[in-house]
Amino acid sequence: MRQRLLRLDRIAGQMNAWLLVIAIGLGMLDLAVLVAKCIPALTIQPPATGSTGHEHAALLPPQADNPRS
């Protein structure tokens, strides 16, 4: 009976180390999520240009069918 208690005590000591590592990892994850939610997402807006001709070629109709030209 004494040997079993010593063995359980040794196992519990090793488990405490693993539980501490898991608790620290979860705390860091929680902190990272908190920081990510507190800092607003940075939106990148394209620069405002007054000139035309920056459209994508795939979105424009062929030149012969284009009524604007």
Residue 23 in domain:
yes
Say if 49 falls within a structural domain: no
Range of the domain at 22: 1-39
Residue 55: pLDDT above 60?
A: no
Residue 32 lies in a domain: yes
- Higher-pLDDT residue of 56 and 38 is 38
Q: 22 to each of 9, 14, 25, 31, how far by Cα in Å?
A: 20, 13, 5, 14
Residue 7 lies in a domain: yes
**Beta-sheet strands, E only, within 7-58:** none
Residue found under tokens 């090793």: 14
- pTM beyond 0.85: no
What tokens appear for 61 in the block?
Answer: 């109709």
Provide mean pLDDT across the span 30-37: 91
Question: How many separate domains does the chain show?
Answer: 1
State mean pLDDT over 47-55: 57
Domain contains 27? yes
What is the token pair recorded at 68? 């604007």
> What's residue 37's pLDDT?
87
pLDDT at 23: 93
Q: Is position 15 within any domain?
A: yes
